[in-house]
Amino acid sequence: MNRRDFIRDAGAFTAALSLPYAVSAETITTAKMATRPIPGTGEELPIVGLGNSQSFREGDYENSRKLLDILVENGGSFVDAWGSNQELLGRYMHDREARNKLFLANNVGPRNSQESDAAIRYAKESQGMATLDLLQLPNPSDFKKQWRLLRDAREAGHARYIGLAIARPNYYKTVEKLLNSGTTDFIQVNYSILETGSGERLLPMARDKGVAVVTNRPFVNGQYFPLVKDHELPDWAEDFDCRSWAQFSLKFILANPAVNCVITETSKPRHAMDNLSAGFGRLPDEQQRARMKDLMQSLLDIAQQKPELRSG
Residue by residue, DSSP assigns 158-178 as SEEEEEEE--SGGGHHHHHHH
- What is the torsional sign of CA 263, 267, 271, 277? positive
Q: Which CATH superfamily is domain 3-306 in?
A: NADP-dependent oxidoreductase domain (3.20.20.100)
- In eight-state DSSP terms, residue 34 is -
Average confidence score pLDDT of the chain: 90
Sequence-separated (6 or more) residues with CB below 8 Å from residue 73: 18, 19, 20
pLDDT score, position 306: 73
Specify whether the CB–CB gap between 267 and 67 falls below 8 A. Answer: yes
Sequence-separated (6 or more) residues with CB below 8 Å from residue 133: 103, 104, 105, 106, 159, 160, 161
pLDDT band at 20 (very low <50, low <70, confident <90, very high): very low
pLDDT score, position 83: 87
Element (H, E) at 66: helix 61-73
pLDDT score, position 24: 39
**Size of the chain in residues:** 312
Give dist(CA 296, CA 192) in Å, integer: 11
Give strand pairing partners of 165: 138, 188
- In eight-state DSSP terms, residue 212 is E
For 81, phi then psi, to 5°, come to -110, 125
Q: What is the end-to-end Cα distance of the chain in Å, rounded? A: 28
The SS3 assignment for 132 reads strand
Of the chain, the percentage scoring pLDDT greater than 90 comes to 85
Mean pLDDT of the region 127-150: 96
- What is the torsional sign of CA 81, 83, 86, 88? negative
Give dist(CA 217, CA 238) in Å, integer: 24
